[in-house]
Amino acid sequence: MAATSSTIDVYKMKIKNMYVTPMKNLSTKHKHSFCWTEFGQLAIEVNGKRRTVLGENVFCGVCLRKAKNEDEDALFSKAQVKAYGKSIATSNLLRHLKDAHGLDDTLKTRTSTIKEFFTPRISGRIRDGSGKSDKWSLSRDLALWFARSLMPFDTVENDAMIDFLKKYSVIVSDADLPSRHNIAREGLEDVYNSMLAYINAFISKQSSLRCLDCRYVDR
């Protein structure tokens, strides 16, 4: 049972008596994303027993550990511990871990190479809706498609688009389709990184290059 403000003032507690239990240890549905190894439910320890508090949010365990290392006697209200609502997209949690703490999923699918974006899928392969890597790849392929065709990312939410993808067994249900936010953020970022890697590799092999610089001067 979660402690409430009527039983204890969490924000006036010292952080040395507070812990973050990773969501991957609490729920099977939270085992797939790397972010759930660090984000979880906040718990306080009172008289040797731990109780979950502020259960409507998930908290960053890295932030809490860092705050404890700096001053474990600090009040929770003064500590900088990042919290999000439970409905937050995992991409936002991953972004926080990467930007704030330099943590990234070392086991995640590697960045696509430029050639992989134009490699046909294996004939007869049908998505069963259970492959996370399929959703990952679809996000990046859609990002490239929309970018090349100058289409808005919310096209992915178009009913006609969804029906088309279902008809040709690209997806089984709406849940197999990445959101426009994932396409715009993760998918587009991977497309950019793959293109950048290709250009860098190409330039590094050249002994000399000729460049044209166009400048506009406002007089």
Q: In the structure, what pLDDT confidence band is assigned to residue 96 with cuts at 50, 70 and 90?
A: very high
Q: In the structure, what pLDDT confidence band is assigned to residue 81 with cuts at 50, 70 and 90?
A: very high
pLDDT recorded at residue 126: 44
Q: Are residues 19 and 96 part of one domain?
A: yes
Give a yes or no: residue 22 inside a domain.
yes
Q: Are residues 90 and 32 part of one domain?
A: yes
Q: Which residue has the tokens 């439970």?
A: 86
Q: Are residues 120 and 158 part of one domain?
A: yes
Domain boundary among 66, 101, 136: 101
Give a yes or no: residue 91 inside a domain.
yes
pLDDT recorded at residue 4: 44
Name the percent of the chain lying above pLDDT 90.
29
Q: Are residues 128 and 69 part of one domain?
A: no
- Give tens-digit pLDDT for 98-107: 899 988 765 5
Give a yes or no: residue 107 inside a domain.
no
Give a yes or no: residue 135 inside a domain.
yes
**Which DSSP state fits 179?**
P
Joined together, the tokens standing for residue 164 give: 């088309």
Q: Are residues 129 and 66 part of one domain?
A: no
pLDDT recorded at residue 156: 92
Domain span at residue 55 reads 10-101
Residue 120 has pLDDT above 70, yes or no: no
Which of 112-116, 129-133, 142-146 has the highest average model confidence (pLDDT)? 142-146
Rounded Cα–Cα distance for residues 202 and 210 (Å): 14
Q: Are residues 96 and 18 part of one domain?
A: yes
- Give tens-digit pLDDT for 66-78: 999 999 999 999 9
Q: Are residues 120 and 95 part of one domain?
A: no
Q: In the structure, what pLDDT confidence band is assigned to residue 138 with cuts at 50, 70 and 90?
A: confident
Give a yes or no: residue 213 inside a domain.
no
Q: Are residues 79 and 154 part of one domain?
A: no
Give a yes or no: residue 24 inside a domain.
yes
Q: Are residues 119 and 200 part of one domain?
A: yes
Give a yes or no: residue 5 inside a domain.
no
- Give tens-digit pLDDT for 149-196: 999 999 999 999 999 988 888 888 888 888 888 888 778 877 887 888
Instruction: Between 125 and 105, name the one with better pLDDT.
Output: 105
**Please, what is the average pLDDT of the chain?**
80
Average pLDDT rounded to a whole number, residues 43-60: 90
- Write phi, then psi, for 170 (nearest 5 degrees): -70, -40
Domain boundary among 101, 135, 163: 101
Q: Are residues 146 and 88 part of one domain?
A: no
Rounded Cα–Cα distance for residues 200 and 5 (Å): 55
- Write phi, then psi, for 192 (nearest 5 degrees): -60, -45
Q: Are residues 137 and 87 part of one domain?
A: no
Residue 125 has pLDDT above 70, yes or no: no
Give a yes or no: residue 30 inside a domain.
yes
Q: Are residues 148 and 73 part of one domain?
A: no
Give how many domains the chain has, as a whole number. Answer: 2
Domain boundary among 45, 77, 101: 101
Q: In the structure, what pLDDT confidence band is assigned to residue 83 with cuts at 50, 70 and 90?
A: very high
Residues 6+ positions from 112 with CB-CB distance below 8 Å: 137, 140, 190, 191, 194
pLDDT recorded at residue 117: 56
pTM across the whole model: 0.50
